[in-house]
Amino acid sequence: MVSVKRKKQTGSWMIVGLFFLVFMASLLIGSERIPINQLLAMVGLHDEPVNPVYYQILVQLRLPRALAAGLIGMALANSGVVFQTCFRNPLADPYMLGISSGAALGASISFVIPGLGPAWTGLFAFVGALGALAFIYTIGWMNGKLDSTVLILSGIAVGFFLSAVVSLLAALHQERMEQIIFWTMGSLNAIRFSQVRMIIIPVLASLMIFFYHWKDLNLMVLGEEGAITTGTNAPRVSKILLVIASLSTAFVVSVSGIIGFVGLVIPHLVRLAIGPNHRSLLPISAFAGATFLMLSDVIARTIVAPRQLPIGIITAFLGSPYFIYLIIGLKRRQS
Amino acid sequence: MIHIRDVVFRYQTDDFSLKHISMDIHQGERVSIVGPNGSGKTTLMKVMLGILETTGKVRMVEKSLDEYTTKERARILSYMPQFQALSHSLTVREYVELGRYPHTERFRDLSPRDHQKVLEMMELTHLTSYADRPLESLSGGERQRVFLAKALVQDPKILFLDEPITYLDMSQQLAMLKIVKEYCENKNISVVAIMHDLNLALNFSHKIALLSHGSLVDYGPPKQVLTPKNIENIFGTRVSFIDIPGSEAAYIVPELTF
């Protein structure tokens, strides 16, 4: 038992260590490589004159981008944990209730309305995500009870419908097609401190609320009746947590576009490494999600530099092979 | 300890209902709920556990069931399910530990005392050597013992068992009931069990609640309730009784119709 516990602790510390390492790397690596001494000089830990160009790149571009990647990764990974636990479904992810397609439609509308600048895109995406979410929850709310099957099925149906509308808009406005496609694959290119300010409070608040419920989430593994008889009002708690996870996702999607696989893969990976206890699963998967997204962003902006790739392509390239590996591993263990 | 008065429950989706059920269960009593399939045994248990809301009064220990918070209720009632589908893999120890949650503060993890209790209950149910094995790698009988260990770790005043011996072979059935009987007698815990095996119900319980079509047909000491007449009326099977000389045990033997 001691060795299992130690293995889990080592796994946790490795993830936290990797987080700080990747955070540093995401500040230093890019089309312009910044020497580490310059970073140390900026925070007063090294005695050499600070290059003003480096300072500008670091503070105005890379720092907000790294912070945003970290916050978005945390929100998506923890929302993924909550969705998978509340729906008792390992394939659940924060986009399954139509949030991504609602946001994509909102963003696409902002692209095709003449005269609206990029500042409007986030707002439109957020309204789109909330609209889709409200619609799906209204359908899922049957007889005063939230029916998770109806919720998931209507999420799929509404998602397909909204995606079709996005494709229609792209087809009708071919001059905007590239912009729409780029947005639906996620990007942190346009992130500045204003976007970080927009998401920091909702994201941190949602993480705290999730953590407040770590024991409730642990008990949900028992199913509704098992959880109720072990002391948690599972239907009420899961309703609250799903709404908060959805809102948190809507906030981050509205600044980054749709970044897939984080909410699906990270909870799995962390659960394998450190076990199912949400007391550590939630904070460690937040760190892992942030690390994964910051790393993906570094790759997205360096691999074909000076051009930048949408970050969603990188997360899918990294995430899907791992997911296939997981499924094969699961099948092997079952047989 | 448990006072149930005029409980009525109706499912929205079908015609079944519990009809005006009233019964009392005293501290330390073992009560078996018996009846044919679909007679309302599980529904009645879910009403007692507060999983289903009902009209009528259900009073548990000190106050009415709806006056307790979910967590307070879990400190006095615990439930051993017949079957438990887990959404994620848990080890035996992780599963049993969940039973201590109602006794811990919101942010506190389990205390050394809680861990001690978990070890004791795993020992009682002969699970110590399985502690770090995933639940899904265990046999049906072993899993039932894990469910029991978790229910007992909860330190309840009333223990609810939903068909606790259905998947067990004969020796495991007896071993399981022996653990429940001895431990609950020792701690003065009341037991409410749904039982299919009338012989085991007859010899295990202080009282029997006989249900049919959602009504409580009879309630009282086993030999007064499980009479040949009642059994024939409710189960449609003719039986005779055999008393074992020199013991209080009795056996119900069905008349073979094949």
The DSSP symbol for A132 reads H
Q: What percent of chain B has pLDDT over 90?
A: 58
Q: What is the pLDDT of residue B15?
A: 75
B216 pLDDT above the threshold of 60: yes
Q: What is the pLDDT of residue A143?
A: 63
- The whole-number average pLDDT for the span B194-212 is 92
Q: What is the pLDDT of residue A91?
A: 79
Task: Give which of A245, A219, A248, A214 is closest to A231, Cα–Cα.
Answer: A219
Question: Contact, B76 vs B157, CB < 8 A?
Answer: yes
Q: Which of B49, B88, B93 sits opposite A221 (nearest CB)?
A: B88
- Cβ contact B102–A225 (<8 Å): no
- Cβ contact A279–B109 (<8 Å): yes
Q: B72 to chain A: nearest residue by CA?
A: A231
The total of other beta-carbon atoms located within 10 Å of residue A183's CB is 25
- The whole-number average pLDDT for the span B147-173 is 92
Which residues in chain B are closer than 8 Å to A212, comparing Cβ atoms?
A: 106
The total of other beta-carbon atoms located within 10 Å of residue A135's CB is 17
- Cβ contact A143–B88 (<8 Å): no
Q: What is the pLDDT of residue A296?
A: 95
Structure tokens that stand for A34 in this block: 């910044």
Count Cβ neighbours within 10 Å for each residue of A256-292 and write b for 16 or more, e otherwise.
bbbbbbbbbbbbbbbbebbbbbbebbbbbbbbbbbbb
- Residue carrying structure tokens 């239907």: A235
C-alpha–C-alpha distance, residues A206 and A208, integer Å: 5
C-alpha–C-alpha distance, residues B136 and B141, integer Å: 12
Q: Which of A84, A85, A215 sits opposite B106 (nearest CB)?
A: A215
Mean pLDDT by 10 residues, chain A (335 residues): 74 93 93 87 85 90 94 96 88 83 91 83 88 86 73 88 93 88 85 90 96 96 92 90 90 88 91 90 97 95 86 91 80 68
Structural domain tally of chain A? 1
The total of other beta-carbon atoms located within 10 Å of residue B98's CB is 23
Q: Nearest C-alpha of chain A: how many angstroms from B155?
A: 11
Instruction: pLDDT band for B52, please (50, 70, 90 cuts).
Output: confident
The DSSP symbol for B136 reads G
CATH number reported for the structural domain that contains residue A79 in this entry: 1.10.3470.10
Which residues in chain A are closer than 8 Å to B143, comparing Cβ atoms?
A: none
Q: Which of B74, B104, B132 sits opposite A229 (nearest CB)?
A: B74
Q: What is the pLDDT of residue A46?
A: 83
Q: Nearest C-alpha of chain B: how many angstroms from A286?
A: 19
Task: Give which of A308, A297, A240, A288 is closest to A82, Cα–Cα.
Answer: A240
Count Cβ neighbours within 10 Å for each residue of A58-76 and write b for 16 or more, e otherwise.
beebbbbbbbbbbbbbbbb
Q: A1 to chain B: nearest residue by CA?
A: B132
One-letter-per-residue 3-state SS of B137-180: HCCHHHHHHHHHHHHHHCCCCEEEEECCCCCCCHHHHHHHHHHH
Which residues in chain B are closer than 8 Å to A219, comparing Cβ atoms?
A: 98, 101
Cis peptide before A306 (omega within 30 of 0): yes
- Cβ contact B74–A226 (<8 Å): no
C-alpha–C-alpha distance, residues B98 and A246, integer Å: 27
C-alpha–C-alpha distance, residues B15 and B9, integer Å: 11
Q: What is the pLDDT of residue A334?
A: 63
Spell out the alpha helix ranges (H) of chain B.
41-49, 70-76, 92-97, 112-124, 140-153, 170-187, 198-204, 222-225, 228-235
- Cβ contact B87–A232 (<8 Å): no
| Average model confidence (pLDDT) across chain B | 90
Q: What is the pLDDT of residue A326?
A: 75
Q: What percent of chain B has pLDDT over 70?
A: 100
Q: A212 to chain B: nearest residue by CA?
A: B107
* Backbone phi, psi, residue B227, to 5°: -90, 155
C-alpha–C-alpha distance, residues B52 and A136, integer Å: 27
- The whole-number average pLDDT for the span B48-69 is 88
Q: Which helix (H) or strand (E) holds B17?
A: strand B17-25
Q: Is B86 on the interface with A (CB under 8 A)?
A: yes
Q: Is B119 on the interface with A (CB under 8 A)?
A: no
Question: Residue A294's domain spans which residues?
Answer: 2-334
Q: B136 to chain A: nearest residue by CA?
A: A334
- Cβ contact B86–A212 (<8 Å): no
For chain B positions 124-143, those within 8 Å of chain A (CB to CB) are 131-132
Q: Which of B50, B98, B131 sits opposite A222 (nearest CB)?
A: B98
The total of other beta-carbon atoms located within 10 Å of residue A103's CB is 35
Least confident of A119-123, B38-42, B213-217: A119-123
Q: Is A280 on the interface with B (CB under 8 A)?
A: no
Q: Is B75 on the interface with A (CB under 8 A)?
A: yes
Question: Contact, B87 vs B163, CB < 8 A?
Answer: no
The DSSP symbol for B50 reads T
CA A69, distance to chain mean position in Å, is 9
In a 13 Å sphere around the CA of A65, the CA atoms on its Cβ side amount to 26
Q: What is the pLDDT of residue A81?
A: 96
- Cβ contact B98–A85 (<8 Å): no
What's the ipTM? 0.91
Q: B132 to chain A: nearest residue by CA?
A: A1
Q: Is B94 on the interface with A (CB under 8 A)?
A: yes
- Residue carrying structure tokens 């967590």: B71
Say whether B16 sits in a helix, a strand or coil.
coil
The per-residue pLDDT for range B179-192, each reduced to its tens digit, is 999 999 999 999 99
Question: Contact, A64 vs A191, CB < 8 A?
Answer: yes
